[in-house]
Amino acid sequence: MNRISVLIPFYEKQKTLLKVLDELTLQIYPQDEILIIDDHSPKGVPKCDCPNVRVIRPPKQEPHIWRLNTLRNYGIRKAKSDRILILDPDCIPDINLLQNAREMFHESTLYGGRIDLVQEDGSIKEDPRIYSGRGDIYGGCMLFSKSRTALVGWFSEEYNGAWGLGEIDFSHKCYQSGMITGFTQKLHVIHQHHVGWHEGHERNQQLFAKKRTQYMKNLSSVTPYKPRVAVCVLSLMRPYYLKECLRSIAAVRIPIRLFLVNQGDTGDAQMKIVNQWKNKWNTTYIFNETPKWPGPSRAEIFTLAKEMGFQYLVTIDDDCFLHPHAVENLVKAADEHPEFHGISGYLRFSSKKTSRTKYMLGGEKEIREGKLYFKPFPWRKGVHEAEYICNGLRLVRLDPLVTPDPEWTMGMTDYDWSMQVKKEGLRLAVCGEAGAFHKYQRVGARMKNRRNPYKYDELYRRNEVEIARMADRFKMKWGLELGFE
pLDDT surpassing 90 at residue 164: no
In this structure, the number of other CB atoms found within 10 A of the CB of residue 349 comes to 17
Q: Give phi and psi for 375, each to the nearest 5.
A: -135, 125
Q: Report H helices in 9-134.
A: 14-27, 68-78, 97-104, 129-132
Count of Cβ atoms closer than 10 Å to residue 313 Cβ: 24
- Cα dihedral 420/424/427/433 (nearest 10): -50
Q: Does residue 150 share a domain with residue 286?
A: no
d(CA 274, CA 136) in angstroms, rounded, equals: 20
Q: What is the overall mean pLDDT for the chain? A: 88
- CATH number, position 172: 3.90.550.10
pLDDT for 162: 75
Average pLDDT over residues 13-40: 93
* Same domain? 190 vs 259: no
Query: In the Cβ-directed half-sphere of 245, how many Cα atoms lie within 13 Å?
Result: 28
**pLDDT (mean) for 253-273:** 91
pLDDT of residue 136: 81
User: Looking at this protein, which amino acid is placed at residue 453?
Assistant: P
Q: Which of 187, 203, 221 is the last residue of a domain?
A: 221
pLDDT band at 291 (very low <50, low <70, confident <90, very high): confident
Percent of residues, the chain, with pLDDT higher than 70: 90
The band of 402, judged by pLDDT with boundaries at 50, 70 and 90, is: very high
Distance between CA atoms of 233 and 436, rounded to whole angstroms? 14
Alpha helices of 263-412 — where are they, by DSSP H?
Answer: 268-274, 294-307, 326-336
* Nearest alpha-carbon partner for 171 in 129, 127, 138: 138
Regarding whether 237 and 206 lie in a shared domain, the answer is: no
356 vs 268 pLDDT, higher one: 268
Strands 109-118 and 180-191: parallel
Q: How far apart are CA 116 and CA 130, in angstroms?
A: 10
Do 342 and 472 lie in one domain? The reply is: yes
From residue 127, alpha-carbon distances to 97, 112, 184 in Å are 16, 12, 11
| 117-122 mean pLDDT | 88
Choose among 130, 131, 204: nearest CA to 168. 204
In this structure, the answer to whether residues 202 and 176 fall within a common structural domain is: yes
312-332 pLDDT, tens per residue? 999 999 989 999 999 999 999
Same domain, 203 and 302: no
State CA 52 to chain mean position distance: 30
Q: For residue 373, what are the domain limits?
A: 229-482
pLDDT at 284: 94
Contact between 162 and 203 (Cβ < 8 Å): yes
Residue type present at position 250: A
* Domain co-membership, 273 together with 190: no
Residue where a domain stops, chosen among 177, 201, 221: 221
pLDDT for position 294: 84
Supply the pLDDT for residue 205.
83
| Residue 408 identity | W
The predicted-structure confidence for 339-386, as pLDDT tens digits, reads as follows 999 999 999 876 555 555 889 999 999 998 888 999 999 999 999 999
Do 299 and 442 lie in a common domain?
Answer: yes
- The string of DSSP letters for 94-118 reads PTTHHHHHHHH--TTEEEEEEEEEE
Asked if 205 and 249 sit in the same domain, the reply is no
Count: domains in the chain: 2
- Average pLDDT for residues 42-52, to the nearest whole number? 89
Provide Rg for the chain, Cα atoms: 26
* Three-class secondary structure assignment of 135-191: CCCCCCEEEEEHHHHHHHCCCCHHHCCCCCCHHHHHHHHHHHCCCEEEEEEEEEEEE
**Parallel, antiparallel or unpaired: strands 393-397 and 312-317:** antiparallel
Instruction: Map residue 249 onto helix, strand or coil.
Output: helix
pLDDT in the model for residue 247: 92
Domain boundary among 221, 246, 276: 221
* Band (457; pLDDT cuts 50, 70, 90): low
Question: 344 - beta bridge partners?
Answer: 394, 430
Q: Are residues 385 and 329 in the same domain?
A: yes
SS3 labels along 437-462: EECEEEECCEEEECCCCHHHHHHHHC
278 and 216 fall within a common domain: no
Residues 216 and 233 in one domain: no
Whole-number Å distance between alpha carbons of 434 and 214: 34
**Which of 89-103, 151-165, 322-336 has the lowest average pLDDT?**
151-165
pTM of the model: 0.87
Return phi, psi of residue 325, to 5°: 70, 15
Q: pLDDT band for position 439 (50/70/90)?
A: confident
pLDDT at 245 over 60: yes
The CA-based dihedral angle spanning residues 102, 103, 107, 109, taken in that order and rounded to the nearest 10 degrees: -110
